[in-house]
Amino acid sequence: MIALAALGLACLAQAPAAGSETPRMAQPAPQLSPDDGRTLFSKAIRWILDNQDSSGAWGHDNVGSLFELNYSKASFHAWQYAGTALCCQTLLVADETPEVVAARSKAIDWLTQSPIAKRGNDWDVDSTWAALYGFQCMVQAASHPHYSAAAWQSKLRARGEELYEYLEKHQEPSGGWGYYEGPVVSRRPTWATSFSTACVIPFLIDAERLGWKSDPAVRERAVDYVRRCRLPNGAVAYDLTPIPRALAGGGINDVKGSLGRIQIANWALSEAGEKTVTPDRLRWGLEQFFEHHKFLDVAYQRPIPHEAYYANAGYFYFFGHYYAARVVQELPEAEQEAWHRRLRGEIAKVQRSDGSMADFIGSFYSWSYATSFGAMTLALGLHPERFHRPKAQKTAR
C-alpha cells in the first residue's frame, strides 16, 4: 500500500516489464494446497532477488513520469525506503539460502544507513510510510535469530529508535498516523487513517518487548484511534471524523468498501488485547472479505484511485490479503489451513509469470509493495513460525 493515491497515474516507463498477462477477475478462485503456495512463494522471492538494486534497495528515488511532478524528492525517497523495508521483511521469512541472506543483509545495511525520510511539502506526509514500514522491518529483523549478534542488534536498534522518534513526533493528536495533510496549522500532522495506524501497533508492542525506547502512551493512543474507527455496521472507517462518512449507499465506509481495513484493524486490536475482538468477530471479517471479494477484483489495477464500487482502489488488493492472512493466524490452528487455501487462490490468479505482482500500475513501488504483500500472504500459510516475535523482557527485581 505504499504511496497509495500518490502513485496515481504514474506511467509504466519506470516499471519492470511483466508482459501483457491479464488475470480473470471477479470469478471464484480455486482453493490451493500448501504445495501450490510454495511454488507461488518461490516465484515471488525469485523476482524480489532479481530486482534488488546494487545499493541494496528496491526501486529508485527519482521522478518516473510527468504525473509525478507534483511530488517532492522527499516523497520518492520515502516510497523507495518503505518499499525496500517491505521487500526486506519478505526475505526475513524466506528460505535461509546464502543468496537470500546476502540480499537481506545488504537491504538492512541500506535501510540503516540511508537518511530518514522527511516531509517534502505542505500537503502530504509520505515520509510516514517510510517510518511505519521501516520501523516494522527493524523490529522484525531484530527478532530474527540470524541477527542476534550484538553488532546487528545495535545497528537495528539505533535505526529502529530513530524511526520510532519520527512516529512519536508525527502522531496526530487523535492518536493516529496519516499520509496526507489538511490545512497546515501545526508542525504535527492533523489527519490520520485507521489502516496506517493499525499496521504498526503490533510492532510497537514488539519493540517494547525488545526493550527499545518507547512510550506506552503512544501505543495506547494508536489503539484507541483504531478502536474508535470501528462502525456499527461492522466496517472500519477510513479515518476518524466526528461525523463518519455516509454509511448508506456505495460509500467507502460500507463493509464492501472496508474489506481490507476490517482485517488490519482486527489483527492490530487482537494483538493489543482488545477483548471485543473475539474469534467470532475475526471469522465474520474474513467471511465478509471472501463474500464480497468481487469488489476488490473490480478495483484491481484501475488507474484512478477510489473509482470502483464502494470507493475501492486498486491498491487495496494485496494490502487486504496480507492482513487477512494475519487475521487467520489469530484463529485456532485447526481452522487456519481452510482460510489459507482460499487466500492462495486469490493470490495465484494475479501473480505474473515472472513471480511479480502489482495491483495499481504506477512506478516501481507498485511492484515492490504488491509482490511483498502477496508473498508474505503466502508465507503466513506455509511458515508462520518464520514471523519471529520477541519474548517479553523480564523485569529486574
Q: Over the stretch 6-15, which tens digit does the pLDDT of each residue have?
A: 433 333 334 4
Whether the predicted pLDDT of 170 surpasses 50: yes
Tell me the pLDDT of the chain averaged across its residues: 90
State residue 121's pLDDT score: 82
State residue 75's pLDDT score: 83
State residue 1's pLDDT score: 45
Q: Over the stretch 237-287, which tens digit does the pLDDT of each residue have?
A: 999 988 766 655 678 999 999 999 999 999 999 999 999 999 999 999 999
Amino acid sitting at position 169 = K
Torsion sign (Cα): 258, 261, 329, 326: positive
Cell of 31: 482453493
Q: Which of 63-77, 107-121, 134-148 has the highest mean pLDDT?
A: 134-148
Q: How confident is the model at residue 396 (pLDDT cuts 50, 70, 90)?
A: very low
Q: Which residues, at least 6 apart from 372, have a Cβ–Cβ distance to it below 8 Å? A: 48, 83, 86, 87, 89, 90
User: What mean pLDDT do residues 299-307 have?
Assistant: 92
User: What mean pLDDT do residues 60-70 have?
Assistant: 61
The fold for domain 4-16+29-383 equals Glycosyltransferase (1.50.10)
Q: How confident is the model at residue 2 (pLDDT cuts 50, 70, 90)?
A: very low
Whether the predicted pLDDT of 5 surpasses 50: no
Domain borders along the chain are: 4-16+29-383
